[in-house]
Amino acid sequence: MAYVINEKCIDELDGSCVDACPVDCIYEGLTKRYINPAECVDCGACLPQCPVDAIVGTEDQTTVWRADNAAFFTEVLPGRAKPLGEPGGAYATGTIGVDTPLTTGWPRAEEH
């Protein structure tokens, strides 16, 4: 099972994880990054690079964030006419510019 990026990444977008990923499977939404589960090879190179510990392995994944990451690639999202699918690497796609409904609706730190 692929790694997952959780709510700690919202409004972070540091990018160190992207630079460390050997298969270019970490995509940038509007306020959060997402790991394409079909492209991730479970190498773990991204884990120590995340400054907020937002990337989690199988044992630490919650169903909601696993589903959220998958939805980014498989569902039609607001502002996007078709699912992203498997574009074969994040570098060529650049910033996608949309987030999943869960990410969009998640409480931000300044709202607490």
Say if residues 21 and 46 touch (Cβ distance below 8 Å).
yes
Tens of pLDDT, residue by residue over 94-111, are 999 999 999 999 886 554
Domain membership flag for residue 109: no
Tens of pLDDT, residue by residue over 48-103, are 999 999 999 877 778 899 999 999 999 999 889 899 999 999 999 999 999 999 99
Domain count, the chain: 1
Note down the domain range covering 87: 4-99
Q: What's the rounded Cα separation, in Å, for the pair 15 and 21?
A: 10
Domain membership flag for residue 105: no
CATH number where 49 lies: 3.30.70.20
